[in-house]
Amino acid sequence: MAKICFNRAQISAIATTVGDRKLSIDDEKEKFHFDDNSLRRLKKTIGLDSRYVVSEGICTSDLCYQSAIDIFRQLDIDCNDVEALLFVTQSPDYRAPSTAIIMQDRLGLSVDTLAYDINLGCSGFVYGLFTAFSFIQSGLKKVLLLVGDVASSLTGKSDKTLAPLMGDAGSAILIDRVEHQRSYFVMHSDGSGCQHLIIPGGGCRKPYRRSVVVEDRGSEDADLRSDMDMYMNGGEIFNFSIKVVPKLFQELFEFTGVTEKEIDYFVLHQPNKYILQNIAKRLGISEEKMPSKTASVFGNQNSASITGTINGFLHEKFSDHELKNVFVGFGIGLSWGACYVETNAIYAPEVMMFDGR
């Protein structure tokens, strides 16, 4: 496994913007053909309730732009001081060029800014933070990390196995250079499980064709999902999650020397309440220290779900206190990683709805 320690980087700000439309699962009952019993079961077990999605034409970059501008204005950031911009997403503006380069111009950053995209989803915040911390460790002073997805665009619109779960969000995270601020990262990848959570069409392996419709996978809604839409083997992803995440905690604690009792918050990727509660039960961690309501309120925000949880449910604590945190991302790839990061009264406002800025 990859184990890395940094001592010169800190998070100064986290802001998250969600889609401008709130959808209730009760209002979408007929769309997804849920009967009353199925709906009650899904609401109780995995926490289906509401989600925020964007209106047509709004991209992940628009959500991240609003989040970044809020940080710049509130902290009076000089755009010329930002030396690198990283954009973690699986829903870029275009297949090419990198959206990060477009955002460099849109945000008014210097042409000397290093900018590129990172194609990751559920583990994307942890991997993006690791990359940003690496830049700071190497000598840069200020890095802007953007993470998020218009996740509602990744699924078939009537695919009841995935579409009801997905929410749209974009976060901005400002990372600064300091001295004597230790952080620890543990990272893993396993491409042998890539077929369990995948968008098969649209790349060079299987180019996009308008007429291509996914072959029957034994699912009653298979005809509602094209090769350009995400497919998930729910059982395999659940088994993967509850297998690797508890081990990841153990690896991180052994690496850092920190114990579970010393951690103020465990903020995990938020796929759904059922997976998170199973992980918390195995680890013996309370809801107060490991929040699990994000997907029920905002939807699965993909790479922005950790930051979305901070701004959605922990913004007062992160804004006012010095905290010891563990962040954990896991999912598509298959990819998973965890980090121990301390924060000290950072700028962390409540979640914003997209307002067209």
Domains and CATH numbers, the chain: 1-357 (3.40.47.10)
Longest dimension (CA), the chain: 58
Contact 18, 354 (CB under 8 A): yes
Quick one: pLDDT at residue 207?
Answer: 87
User: Is 122 in the active site?
Assistant: yes
Out of 272, 300, 302, 325, the active site residue is 300
| Length of the chain, in residues | 357
Whether pLDDT at 312 is above 50: yes
The mean pLDDT of 289-308, rounded to a whole number, is 97
**What is the model's pTM?**
0.94
Instruction: Give the integer Cα–Cα distance in Å for 161 and 138.
Output: 43
3-state secondary structure of 148: strand
Instruction: Give the integer Cα–Cα distance in Å for 348 and 312.
Output: 10
Closest to 339 in 3D by CA, of 286, 287, 266: 266
Quick one: pLDDT at residue 226?
Answer: 82
The mean pLDDT of 253-264, rounded to a whole number, is 96
Looking at the chain, the whole-number percentage of residues with pLDDT higher than 90 is: 84
Out of 64, 188, 196, 269, the active site residue is 269
Instruction: Give the integer Cα–Cα distance in Å for 145 and 133.
Output: 10
Contact 91, 150 (CB under 8 A): yes
Q: What is the DSSP letter of 261?
A: G
Name beta bridge partners: 9: 177
User: Is 269 in the active site?
Assistant: yes
Closest to 355 in 3D by CA, of 59, 15, 20: 20
Out of 64, 122, 315, 339, the active site residue is 122
